[in-house]
Structure 1
Amino acid sequence: MSEEATLEETPTWIVASVCSAIVLISLVFERALHRLGKALERRRVTLYEALLKLKEELMLLGFVSLLLVVFQDLIQKICIDESLMEHWLPCRGGSEASAVAHYGAASTFAAGGRRMLNGGAAFGHCSSKGKVPLLSRHALEQLHIFIFVLAITHVVFSAFTVLLGLLQMRKWMHWEKNIQQEGSSAPKMIKRVQKIKFIQDRCKGHEKVAWVIIWMRSFFKQFYGSVSNDDYVAMRLGFVMTHFRGHPKFNFYDYMIKALEKDFKRVVGIKWYYWIFVMIFLLVNITGWHSYFWISLVPLSLLLLIGTKLEHIINKLAHEVASKHAASQGEVGIVVRPSDELFWFHSPRLVLVLIHFILFQNAFEFAYFFWTLAMFGVDSCIMDRLGYSVSRIIICVIVQVLCSYSTLPLYAIVSHMGSSFKSAVFADGVADHLRGWADNARQRMRRSALGAAAEERSYWGERSRPAQLRSISF
């Protein structure tokens, strides 16, 4: 056959069989997502919202696939000068000519000298003009597969990271239960915070060392015991005393997990501007640059920076408690005081944005590796040298593990050390009730402060009045 067979030349039983298989697989997948959604809607509303976000991403992916299929003939008819194919190549040399063909050189011939059938028509259209197609059909199909692999890899690895992080935080549930069972009042909890290792360990020697050493301690702390029981107790009390004063039995663990699941909805999606990074990454994949190895260092560096910052916030909170407690000579109960000023640009949300970018870029590295391995093989020049490829994968694995077991749990608790609480994790009615409760508590505190000041003025006024009257009587 000189050309590929069309539907006019294909047996009907083949068309019906293939169509039935595709529809059946699609229906099974759709019903599975539907049942999963029903289960999550009853039990974990926040995860259900993340599933809806996942469906949106799949719909976008399907739309992109449809556009590639519809416009593939039009793209193939775009002709350019063959000299343009000699610049910005991922591969060079005769042995790598096949890889060049995958990226757009439709004039490349197969080993037997035959032109690829799926690009012949487009090549004939452009060769008559002395040019070559912008992108061959085979290259377009491979690009199509890469976009699909990237989206799926990002969703799967993001879910994997959050699930491992939740498993790592399960021990916090036991800490919360112990606090609930103890039923300690706020004054007792404050006294406990001032004596526990939270202050002793986090503030040991801070006055005697340079700030560089303090940051180095924060850097290494993220690799072992990033959040201890004492850290949890202290930060939990600071959050409760700031936002839910008078309700020391507030279940901080459940609130924190719901907030993390709510954030997962943002992480599982792919923002439109992340596709700009994809275009840049594909653009700089030039032979000899080893671009993807250097790019893989970006998420690792950002992750270490975020972990160091979050640990430093905990150290700073402990140092503030110790300083205020020492200044008051132990007469006043001091607890952790959450504040947006502890975070970069006074924005705890910025940390989540950076984590989202890290997970996406790490997913890009994994997706590109799996895609090139499947499309071109391990010996392809696009795979880069073995040392660079192995190093990239090792770095990606380190980022994935460190984010799951250290950075994500750190973010889950330290992100609540901002000035406000996340009412969105509650149902609308509960959120309104909590906001009203918090406002009333602040008003009561304000009235109490004003009342105390008025009593003090009245007291000193009464003390001074007899002297004034005596002076007037004389």
Structure 2
Amino acid sequence: MSGGGGEGEEGASLEFTPTWVIASVCTVIVAISLAAERVLHYTGKYLKKKDQKPLYEALQKVKEELMLLGFISLMLTVFQGRIIKICASPDTMKHWLPCPLSHESSSAGELPNASPDSSSHHRRLFAAEAAAGVGHCAAQNKVPVLSLEALHHLHIFIFVLAIVHVAFSVLTVVFGGAKIRQWKHWENSIAKDNYNSEQVLKPKFTNVHQHDFIKKRFKGLGRHSVLLSWLHSFFKQFYGSVTKTDYTALRLGFITTHCKGNPKFNFHKYLMRALEDDFKTVVGISWYLWIFVFIFLSLNVHGWHTYFWIAFIPFVLLLAVGTKLEHIISQLAHEVAEKHIAIEGDLVVQPSDDHFWFRRPHIVLFLIHFILFQNAFELAFFFWIWVQFGFDSCIMGQVRYIVPRLVIGVFIQLLCSYSTLPLYALVTQMGTHFKKSIFDEHVQVGLLGWAQKAKKKKGLNLKAATGGSTQSGSTTDGSTVRSLQMGDIGRKETTPPAEIQPSNGS
């Protein structure tokens, strides 16, 4: 291309563009970027001032995603010239297509015709690409693996997916948190009874099988009781998933096991802090979620209707998680009903990791994370196709496949927000260990500092007693620090200083 001929379909290059145009465009772009950065900054300050930690954490995740997307954009811009020059044989590019090639385009080795309206757009882009990748590959009797237009569409899709996932995760946790806040009056009612000295000192005997928690959750003994319990757990997640008797029984079981010295422990406040900590995990897009994106995009072949069948994966997983969480509550009731007919005092359940899959309560959070991402992926993919290619695009599929996908997506979002997430927040506390969020942030820092001092002091004492190295003492107290981090503080013989022990309001 000649020096003055950098014009035509692509227009003039930067060498032949007026400097005032370059400076003006750069100024506008920088001004918009700085304005967006300031908006995010002041929004974060406002959320911190209002003590809206979940929304603040979501904002931080949005910043991380924007930074990642900016890097992706940079990589696509820098390497797009090389990417479009990666060539393949025309026969290879005719297989595993999301849209079928017409007879004419198949014989010519062209791009599939998405719609008549976009044919002129394809021709313009083809003319622009002819000077780069297409011309390079045509000389080898091959075609580009990825066109400039396809790169542009892929970039937009990744951006839409990240934003939709973060937005949906925020909505889920905000609505779930609103549901959990409705339990606060239960906590206040229980605290009021605890402060009533006459009620506390009055001798109390509980008929286990007449207790509301047992009557609603215990389905008797025998072969059919297990099946009935699972069926009841499945349907229970759709209506009144958590009742006051459930909350009261699980709260008392948690406090009796982990906070026996503090019966007035504010369990509701602890639930909210634990949910805020878990929110950091739910809102992020982990590397293994990108593997799922790769698998889905690979299997999105015309005629397979992958976009339809894959919508059932988060749907089935969500029902399984909700059923399991409800069944854990039923198991706790079943254990008490099997062992006792009448007990002195209040009915107390026994938390244990044995009730969870593979004895790991954290698996439930992983599944919820995957469910929210996959549901966001489904809906983001739908809106991206609608805006980018139109509702009638062959990638969109037939209406009978589209409507169920949208209905399932909305159902998953509502059920996860108002039932599954609140269930998780409560039932996940029924594990063997409590979480470090049982302490306020400043208390957590104090506990870890205390653990380090205890480790050093024990090591010195052991060295003075044995005259040997401190390796043994360091190993012992290293486990103490790990236990502090994992929330197993209450099981250590050593006791932290009184100023950093959990208070009534913690």
Q: TM-score, normalised by structure 1?
A: 0.84
Deviation readout 1:341-398 (Å, 9 max, x if unpaired): 1100101100000000001111110111011001110111010111111111111111
2:422 pairs with 1:416: no
In structure 1, the partner of 2:268 is 253
1:440 offset after TM fit, Å?
6.8
Maintained 8 Å contact 1:150/1:363: yes
Correspondence list, 1:37-76, <5 A: 37-42=44-49, 43-45=51-53, 48-76=56-84
**Structure 2 unmatched ranges of 5 or more:** 1-6, 449-483, 496-506
Maintained 8 Å contact 1:46/1:425: no
Amino acid at match of 2:180: M
Correspondence for 1:198 among 189, 204, 213: 213
Maintained 8 Å contact 2:375/2:412: yes
Maintained 8 Å contact 2:254/2:430: yes
1:63 offset after TM fit, Å?
1.1
Amino acid at match of 1:172: W
1:428 offset after TM fit, Å?
4.9
In structure 2, the partner of 1:79 is 87
In structure 1, the partner of 2:8 is 2
Amino acid at match of 1:78: I
Q: 1:188 to 1:95 in 2, by over 3 A?
A: farther
CA distance in structure 2 between the aligned counterparts of 1:312 and 1:422, rounded to whole angstroms = 22
Correspondence for 1:25 among 32, 35, 39: 32
Q: Secondary structure at the match of 1:224?
A: coil
Correspondence for 1:117 among 117, 127, 130: 127
2:42 pairs with 1:35: yes
Correspondence list, 1:382-421, <5 A: 382-421=395-434
Correspondence list, 1:233-252, <5 A: 233-252=248-267
Deviation readout 1:134-169 (Å, 9 max, x if unpaired): 111011100110010011111001101111111122
Q: 1:252 to 1:112 in 2, by over 3 A?
A: closer
Maintained 8 Å contact 2:90/2:143: yes
Amino acid at match of 1:143: L
Amino acid at match of 2:402: S
CA distance in structure 1 between the aligned counterparts of 2:305 and 2:490, rounded to whole angstroms = 60
Q: Secondary structure at the match of 2:111?
A: helix
2:243 pairs with 1:228: yes
2:303 pairs with 1:288: yes
Correspondence list, 1:318-467, <5 A: 318-326=333-341, 329-331=342-344, 334-424=347-437, 426-431=439-444
CA distance in structure 1 between the aligned counterparts of 2:204 and 2:48, rounded to whole angstroms = 38
Amino acid at match of 1:120: A
Maintained 8 Å contact 2:219/2:225: no
CA distance in structure 1 between the aligned counterparts of 2:29 and 2:278, rounded to whole angstroms = 34
Q: 1:67 to 1:103 in 2, by over 3 A?
A: farther
Maintained 8 Å contact 1:202/1:315: yes
CA RMSD of aligned residues (A): 3.2
Q: Secondary structure at the match of 1:270?
A: coil
2:89 pairs with 1:90: no
Structure holding more helix per residue: 1
Q: TM-score, normalised by structure 2?
A: 0.79
Deviation readout 1:169-192 (Å, 9 max, x if unpaired): 221011111112222577879867
1:246 offset after TM fit, Å?
2.2
**Identity over aligned residues, as a percent?**
53
Q: Which moved more, 1:78-87 or 1:406-415?
A: 78-87
**Structure 1 unmatched ranges of 5 or more:** 446-474
In structure 1, the partner of 2:144 is 133
Q: 1:61 to 1:438 in 2, by over 3 A?
A: closer
Q: 1:162 to 1:397 in 2, by over 3 A?
A: same
